[in-house]
Amino acid sequence: MALDNQPSTYQPQKVMDFYSATVLCQITEGLVGMDSRTTKIVPRIAEKWKKSSNGQTYTFYLREGIKFHPHKGFKSEEERFLTAEDVVKSFEIGCTEDEKGEPLATYSMVCKSLVKGADEFHVGEAKNISGIVASGNKVTFHLIHSDHNFLYKLANVSSHIISKKLYDRGYKTDVVGTGPFVYNKFSTNKEDDQSALLLTKNTEYYIKDSKGNALPYLDSLEFVFQSRKLEQLDMFENRKIDVILGLPTSQITKMVQGRLEDFNSKPPKLILENNALLETNYYIFNMEDERFKDPKVRMAFNYAIDKKVIGIDILRNQMNDVGVYGITPPVLKALKGYDFEGIKEVGYNYDPEKARKLLAEAGFPNGEGFGSIQLRYNINDIHSAVADEFSKQIRSVLNINVNIDGSTFEKLIEDAETGNGDIFRLGWNADYPSPESFLVNFYGKNVPDDLSTPSKVNKSRYRNPVFDEFYEQATDTKKQIDQLEYFAKAEKVLLKDPPLIPLWYTGDYAIIYSNIRNFYFNALNYFDFTYVYKKDWTKEEFLKKHIGNKEK
């Protein structure tokens, strides 16, 4: 399988990007996980759990006999067995600061203001997290308030469990987990500027299939890191990879319409998916830039962008929708009951006259005195083309020069966190099916007070007390329908005072060879290879499974 970028980290507690999460989810595990077909919560390290009637206490019962992958740091086989102390230690690590004094993803995205004692532990006022208690094979979490998404947060890779013994012995960056695959080898081919990561079967994995067979089925799983989609397609056509996520726009017609026989034969050679994802592509403003302090300027930029041109001419309609809503993608199936229509009413369509009027009201008629701005993005086929189009449109409508500055994905994230630029390209893939997974990126309490400290979650450094109040009311409410109502109110506030420009909501074409069995696409772009195997279809088998079932 090809990924556009390499993981930015192999430490679960630090993961904030899709690429790191996709790789590590095959190696490490949490107390619970997700079913990649249904996206429902399923048992993993914990075989079962209980929730108190008020939703503020969760007790997890750990499976017996789970082993960490082999490592030289273990002094005996007995030390490889996972214990409740490993669970506690993993969350303690995640609630400390990194070597630069910055909070980790586990604290920012999971425990902050939710798990009792996590805040006190984070600032050094307590020696342990009082709300996480180990006893025998049980681990109990005590929450400050109930949280409808708590189990999904525990399924997130930043809540995955690592070995306390290895960490304490100095093996902090070694990739060791309890998952179905073991980190084997990382290689780089300098000639084609391409790297790959080989994972191999964990022969001691504790989960069996329904017939008692050992999992995973696959002997190996290889991730190839290649940012160029044309190169990915070439690898796919030559059977060097089995699945391609997102087609190069110049080849969509050829691949989708020109290969109909491969899709429609029985059995087919290829399977095509056009999946609406809980993923948004957007630009954020550096809110520390004085020019962007005035919301009229940010609104002007939003009205100045013709997103339909981006969607049709650049993406070639490989999307779910253009960014006329907010930060939360309009995937109704995954987010039932959310007020997308109300959010759309305060969203932004292309209106150049209104854009120019707002910019003039902010003190920059026809862009006079505004100066140039720097747009930072990571280089690939799509993002480079969108950046170029954005620059042209802003120049045409607002008479402002946009200097586009491309880099690697890792450098982009570093610059966004430190405010090294004026506008930044970002994309966010939901960790769980809730608007919270998107809105957390603009929660004011995730902004460090010190400007010299990187802002890892709220990269725009956006602060709005009204937004924060609705966001907090949503996370603290007891009824899920009320939670969605408060999140929608928060998102409407966000759009009236926009720190971002929503561009489009992802709906990539994905193509996979039909002999890849039990591989599921879902709205969260979450992949689990535990049950995946390769086997060609016979015509009789295919007709019985896919045609016969429909006739019944």
Tens of pLDDT, residues 310-357: 999 999 999 999 999 999 999 998 999 999 999 999 999 999 999 999
Cβ partners under 8 Å of residue 497, min gap 6: 295, 298, 464, 467
User: 139 and 35 share a domain?
Assistant: yes
Report how far Cα 266 is from the mean position of its chain's Cα atoms: 35
Tokens representing 63?
């499976």
In a domain, 193, yes or no: yes
pLDDT bracket for residue 548 (50, 70, 90): low
254 or 545: whose pLDDT is higher? 254
User: 316 and 444 share a domain?
Assistant: yes
Using CA of residue 333, residue 336, residue 341, residue 344, what is the dihedral sign?
negative
Tokens representing 168?
């304490």
User: Mind listing the pLDDT tens digit for each residue in 258-286?
Assistant: 999 999 999 999 999 988 999 999 999 99
User: 95 and 115 share a domain?
Assistant: yes
Q: For 165, how many CA atoms within 13 A lie in the half-sphere containing its CB?
A: 20
The residue among 124, 142, 168 that closes a domain is 168
In a domain, 88, yes or no: yes
Instruction: Write down how long the chain is.
Output: 552
User: 334 and 417 share a domain?
Assistant: yes
Query: Does position 74 have pLDDT exceeding 70, yes or no?
Result: yes
Dist. CA 540–CA 529, nearest whole Å: 26
Amino acid at 122: H
Placement of tokens 């995955």 in the chain: 160
Query: Does position 25 have pLDDT exceeding 70, yes or no?
Result: yes
User: Mind listing the pLDDT tens digit for each residue in 427-475?
Assistant: 999 999 999 999 999 999 999 999 899 999 999 999 999 999 999 999 9
Dist. CA 223–CA 231, nearest whole Å: 14
Count the neighbouring beta carbons within 10 Å of the beta carbon of residue 295: 15
Averaged pLDDT of the chain: 95
Is-contact 501 282, C-beta < 8 A?
yes
Query: What pLDDT was estimated at residue 189?
Result: 80
Please state the domain count of the chain.
3
CA distances for 216 relative to 63, 243, 327, 530, 533, angstroms? 18, 18, 36, 5, 8
Tokens representing 58?
């969760």
The residue among 117, 138, 168 that closes a domain is 168
Long-range contact pairs involving 207-214 (C-beta distance under 8 Å, separation at least 24): 207/180, 207/530, 209/531
- CA angle (335 as vertex; 330, 338 as ends), nearest 5: 80
Query: Does position 304 have pLDDT exceeding 70, yes or no?
Result: yes
User: 310 and 449 share a domain?
Assistant: yes
Query: Does position 550 have pLDDT exceeding 50, yes or no?
Result: no
Return the H-helix or E-strand segment holding 492: helix 480-496
First vs last Cα of the chain: how many Å apart?
Answer: 35
In a domain, 176, yes or no: no
User: 425 and 454 share a domain?
Assistant: yes
List the CATH number of the domain containing 241. 3.40.190.10
Going by the DSSP 8-state scheme, the letter that residue 548 receives in this structure is H
Query: What pLDDT was estimated at residue 198?
Result: 98
Domain of 43, in residue numbers: 7-168
Name 33's bridge partners.
42
In a domain, 174, yes or no: no
Q: For 158, how many CA atoms within 13 A lie in the half-sphere containing its CB?
A: 24
Query: Does position 418 have pLDDT exceeding 70, yes or no?
Result: yes
Complete DSSP assignment for 207-264: -B-TTS-BS---SEEEEEE---HHHHHHHHHTTSSSEEES--GGGHHHHHTTTHHHHH
Query: Does position 415 have pLDDT exceeding 50, yes or no?
Result: yes
User: 59 and 146 share a domain?
Assistant: yes
Buried residues in 382-421 as b, exposed as e (16+ CB within 10 A): bbbebbebbbebbeebbebebebbbeebbebbebbbebeb
In a domain, 17, yes or no: yes
Placement of tokens 């957390």 in the chain: 440
User: 198 and 95 share a domain?
Assistant: no
Is-contact 137 143, C-beta < 8 A?
no
**What are φ and ψ of residue 221, in 5° steps?**
-140, 125
Count the neighbouring beta carbons within 10 Å of the beta carbon of residue 448: 17
Report the percentage of the chain scoring pLDDT > 90: 93
Predicted TM-score (pTM) of the model is: 0.93
Dist. CA 408–CA 415, nearest whole Å: 11
- CA angle (153 as vertex; 147, 158 as ends), nearest 5: 150
List the CATH number of the domain containing 499. 3.10.105.10
User: 486 and 542 share a domain?
Assistant: no
Query: What pLDDT was estimated at residue 275?
Result: 85
Query: Does position 552 have pLDDT exceeding 60, yes or no?
Result: no
Query: What pLDDT was estimated at residue 412?
Result: 97
CA distances for 89 relative to 21, 161, 334, angstroms? 20, 8, 34
Query: Does position 551 have pLDDT exceeding 70, yes or no?
Result: no
> 502: helix, coil or strand?
strand
CA distances for 17 relative to 14, 23, 282, 477, 520, angstroms? 9, 11, 15, 28, 20
pLDDT bracket for residue 372 (50, 70, 90): very high
User: 372 and 233 share a domain?
Assistant: no
pLDDT bracket for residue 100 (50, 70, 90): confident
Instruction: State the average pLDDT over residues 524-533.
Output: 97
User: 82 and 101 share a domain?
Assistant: yes
